[in-house]
């Protein structure tokens, strides 16, 4: 059985003191409860403080992005080597906001996935269609292309790979996909993973992301092919986020 993975993507929110207060409260709520893996993904500035607070706890730590080159003249970038040095367990690769706001293409996302895996960290590969792509009827073609190019640099062992399906039109809009749509896409991704990785494809966890909240989380997290959630705005309050995470207990 795949352990559900629920991750809090803070995006560009919280100062270091705010991050500390959040994590202290979340640790109180989570305790040593098992059954779901909880990961917090803060801004780069809060990663060292978060790593210190979360050491030896059941909470995982992730980075929102990382550049594939180990070092060099890449002003403003943070490398996979550097986030590995902090002690992250996960790195988001190809989040829709990176693709749409900063022009990251599939090839760069694939390089990031490959670099993350090479450092022994788990990539969360984000895939999903825009509203225009959905209206054009090419949803699977878009997602399949993102999957193929995202894992192009991996061998036949996915080694902890996580896929996050995030329909772009549902992110930050308050309009979530229907659970039936999320299940249909997750099931199709599962079939693709089996073709790409064989039986090992069944080990890959598939998250849903896109306006997940306390009202709809249970509907998504009870789906047979959805193994967790990538939570954005609703994750900014620790009590709300924990209520969502608890919906994933199986």
CATH number of the domain encompassing residue 195: 3.20.20.70
Q: How far apart are CA 227 and CA 159, in angstroms?
A: 16
Q: How far apart are CA 143 and CA 60, in angstroms?
A: 27
Task: Look at residue 110 and tell me whether its pLDDT is greater than 90.
Answer: yes
Q: How many separate domains does the chain show?
A: 1
Q: Where are the beta strands (DSSP E) in 16-121?
A: 37-41, 60-63, 90-93
Share of the chain above pLDDT 70, in %: 99
Q: pLDDT tens across 126-154, in order? A: 999 988 888 888 899 999 999 999 999 99
Task: Look at residue 250 and tell me whether its pLDDT is greater than 70.
Answer: no
Exposed, middle or buried, 73 (CB in 10 Å: 0-12/13-18/19+)? Answer: exposed
- Tokens found for residue 25: 């409260």
Q: How far apart are CA 221 and CA 213, in angstroms?
A: 11
pLDDT for the residue numbered 170: 79
Q: pLDDT tens across 173-195, in order? A: 777 789 999 999 999 999 999 99
Q: What is the mean pLDDT of residues 54-82?
A: 98
Residue ranges for the known binding site for substrate are 9-11, 172, 211, 232-233
The H or E element spanning position 176 is none
Residues 6+ apart with CB under 8 A from 221: 4, 6, 228, 229, 247, 248
Question: pTM above 0.85?
Answer: yes
Active centre residues (catalytic): 95, 166
Average model confidence (pLDDT) across the chain? 95
pLDDT for the residue numbered 185: 96
- Supply the range of the domain harboring residue 81: 5-248
Q: How far apart are CA 208 and CA 163, in angstroms?
A: 9
Q: How far apart are CA 239 and CA 20, in angstroms?
A: 15
């Amino acid at each position: 059985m795949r352990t559900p993975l629920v991750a809090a993507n803070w995006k560009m929110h919280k100062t270091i003191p705010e991050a500390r207060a959040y994590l202290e409260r979340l640790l109180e709520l989570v305790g040593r409860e098992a059954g779901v893996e909880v990961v917090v993904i803060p801004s780069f500035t809060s990663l060292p403080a978060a790593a210190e607070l979360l050491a030896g706890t059941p909470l995982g730590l992730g980075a929102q992005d990382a550049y594939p080159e180990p070092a060099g003249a890449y002003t403003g970038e943070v490398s996979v080597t550097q986030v590995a040095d902090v002690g992250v367990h996960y790195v988001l690769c190809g989040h829709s906001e990176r693709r749409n706001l900063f022009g990251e293409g599939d090839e760069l996302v694939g390089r990031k996935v490959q670099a993350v895996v090479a450092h022994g960290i788990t990539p969360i590969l984000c895939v999903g269609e825009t509203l225009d792509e959905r209206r054009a009827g090419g949803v699977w073609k878009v997602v399949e292309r993102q999957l193929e190019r995202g894992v192009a640099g991996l061998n036949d062992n996915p080694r902890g790979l996580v896929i996050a399906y995030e329909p772009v039109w549902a992110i930050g809009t308050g309009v979530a996909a229907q659970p039936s749509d999320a299940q249909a896409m997750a099931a199709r991704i599962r079939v693709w993973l089996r073709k790409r990785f064989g039986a090992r494809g069944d080990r890959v966890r598939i998250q849903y992301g896109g306006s997940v909240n306390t009202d709809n989380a249970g509907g998504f997290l009870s789906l047979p092919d959805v193994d967790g959630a990538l939570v954005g705005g609703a994750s900014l309050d620790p009590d709300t986020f924990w209520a969502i995470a608890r919906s994933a207990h199986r």
